[in-house]
Amino acid sequence: MRLSDVKTGESAVIVKILGHGSFRKRMMEMGFVKGKKILVELNAPLQDPIKYKILDYEISLRRSEASLIEVVREGSSEAIAMHDVAVITEDDCGFLNNFDSERRTINVALIGNPNCGKTSLFNSASGAKEHVGNYSGVTVDAKKGVMEYNGYVFNIVDLPGTYSLSAYSPEELYVRRYLREEVPDVIINVVDASNLERNLYLTTELIDMDRSMVIALNMYDELERSKVHFDYETLSRMIGVPMVPTVSKSGRGVNELFDTIIEVYEGRNEVVRHVHISFSKDIEDAVKTIQKALKSEAQLDQHFSARYLSIKLLENDREVLSILQSLPHYEEIKQLRDRLVADIEQLHGEDIATTIAASKYGFVSGALRETMETDEKEEAKTTAVIDSIVTNRLFGFPIFILLMWLMFWATFEIGQYPMDWIEAAVGWIGEMVSTLLPEGPVKDMIVDGIIGGVGGVIVFLPNILILYAFISFMEDSGYMARAAFIMDRIMHKIGLHGKSFIPMVMGFGCNVPAIIATRTIESRTSRLITILINPFMSCGARLPIYLLLVGALFPENASIVLLGLYALGVLVAVVTAKLLRKLHYKEDETPFVMELPPYRIPTMKATLRHMWAKGQQYLKKMGGVILVASLIIWLFSYFPRPTDADVEAVRSELVADGIDVNTVNVETVAATENSFLGRIGKFVSPVFEPLGFNWKMTVSLLTGTVAKETVVSTLGVLYSGDSEVGNDALAKRIVTPNPSTGQPDFTPLVGFCFLIFVLLYVPCIATVTAIVKETGSWRYGAFTLVYNTFVAWTLSFIVFQIGSLFV
């Protein structure tokens, strides 16, 4: 039978993994090997995906993936015997140490499974402010920090979380290439002490590499609370790698860890010895045969041990194949490998990668049986109780919607108070500088360009901080993984992962951090699609435009129109995602395999650290871009200065249009119309005339490419001659009939088309910059510029042309 057929609450024993390629490899690496027991815990509210428990940890799989795992019911006559437990043997050379007593700098690399507390340990040791999230995949780049301790300088690198050292995912490939190219002095293998059987699989691969290593038994307090007796000192001697219990969030054991690193670095640690994790005789013979052939090659890559390369070659690892292709006798070695693999697979009745993975898990299981005593009495865990509520079919979605509503309510309602204070402070600074400086271009540049540009960024800082405080709490607590879990089936309908939902929700606050948040998505194609559709999520910067036009043109149906705009953005994002998946990114190379970590209570320090780190990131990255762009736009809107004749011409036009020139800053209007920006707007306005937009609207849209908030201030200048005019006065201006046409420039139809265009057209410069940076190519930024604007123009054109037939 298949795993997808097992009912909730029932257990089964794994027979084998069907399917092939990356899915099969990933399942084996995560413990889905022959003979392992797996429990079906619960179904998502929409019955897909399903949460399982294996090796004392929880994981979610889609039904389509569970159907590729063959099982038998626990206790049935078909029960499968376990593979022979692998044993360890010391190598002939022993531990070799090239320590230079004069060297006082130690390069350290942190390597471990996702969600093992690796980044927490990095922060505790180095004092860095990297985000710590209880959500697999938070660390997706190498983070670097420096620590001075006991007369040594430690260069610490926090590598991406990985389940193995295969060439399966970008994270795994990055870690292995780092180990090959950088060769750290000591590896800190961070393992989750409360989930040793799963975490130690990566340890076996690092042992194969034959590197200097120390194991940090992180979250050791959770192991102690579980009343498990673990003789880690005996296990250390068995595998030849010293182990140190740590609790990174409190700093417990960190000093002892680095004392041990120094001992290993100096060759003084008595535990250290290199061992071989041996396999069954036929596989071991095959490894030694290939190892002998590789050692005869003078050009063999010395960064990896010959044994490690031999094992990976047997597994048909793509990266190792590429490394060995340059060897003179590569083809002969490859043919030898093919013969050996064919014989072994025929003998075992399964592919050799499965056999090797099962042997390593067998070794881990045997080692833990010798060193760990567990209480057989199972108690109901907090995680299971909470999951039974928050992922329940009836309560899961309401709870999720309530939390999302609470997050955005706090972001905009509570954040409005400090936002008003900052806005008032920026206005006061602008007025003070304006009174101190003499009239002229320098004053205008400082007040309008610099203070206005920076103020437009700082004013949203409280909202960003509150938003990220909520997101940090949900990530650190473990709830964010559950949100992806319950939304996966809906997201799967549009060709994305459940993980894509969180960045999309974040996009309603700001597209820039939302795009950065897509780093948690392992699949490159799903990540790219999520990045490209994110700008269609209506960010908070568009809200001032909505409030102005909806309040002026649709006062009686404001909430319906506002909700319709947000819904339209989501609909366009969904259609775009389906088109991209169907026409370009047809295959999703990474299966939806997501660990559901246990719930943990986040510390206030960690939440505040994350919140402020994101605030700094927002100010640093967005403030710089917007400041420079604001100055450029100011230059284009300020020069060339209007002549007296230009001012009089504008005055005459205003009088002809029936506008009281005493209520308008005629010089400002003339400066705008005759500036480079005004001329550009008039030049491109024919493109927007089919949408019902005049040149003033066109200019405001052009300035909105820097930051959407500038659309309102630009309209204020063009329609009132004063960028500081209040929203109420501006709303009256835009609905006042134009004497030359007899109707307002902004009719309800034109205004609605304008809102559609603002919603969908090219995002701000900061968002485009984030897209280019996160995708690593300017082509994706160019695609966003062209595609989003095309969609906005097309939909606005259709609505205006059809609406014109009836209005």
d(C-alpha 545, C-alpha 524), whole Å: 34
Poorest-pLDDT segment among 12-21, 37-46, 160-169:
12-21
**What is the pLDDT of the chain when averaged over all its residues?**
80
DSSP at 664: S
pLDDT > 90: percent of the chain: 18
Whether residue 621 has pLDDT greater than 60: no
**Lowest-confidence pick of 359-368, 455-464, 649-658:** 455-464
Given a cut of 70, whether residue 345 has pLDDT beyond it is yes
pLDDT at 85 over 70: no
Residue 800 to residues 283, 695, 778, 791, 805, Cα–Cα distance (Å): 71, 17, 33, 14, 9
Q: For residue 86, is pLDDT > 70?
A: no
How much of the chain exceeds pLDDT 70, in percent?
A: 83
Nearest in space to 69 (alpha carbons), one of 354, 359, 311: 354
C-alpha distances in angstroms, 347 versus 82, 317, 458? Answer: 16, 21, 68
List of residues 6+ apart from 440 with CB closer than 8 A: none
pLDDT of 751 = 93
**Model confidence pLDDT, tens digit, residues 664-701:** 677 777 877 788 878 888 899 899 999 999 888 998 89
For 376-434, write each residue's pLDDT tens digit. 444 446 667 888 888 887 888 888 888 877 876 776 678 778 878 887 887 788 888 88
- Pick the residue with more confidence: 781 or 47? 781
Give the relative orientation of helices 281-295 and 330-348 as an angle to the nearest 10 degrees. Answer: 180
Answer yes or no: are the C-beta atoms of 478 and 599 closer than 8 Å: yes
Residue 622 · residue 766 · CB < 8 Å? yes
pLDDT digits (tens, 9 = 90+) for 701-727: 988 887 787 787 777 766 754 444 445
pLDDT higher than 80, residue 151? yes
Show the beta-strand stretches assigned E in 417-576. none
Contact between 341 and 314 under an 8 Å Cβ cutoff? The reply is yes
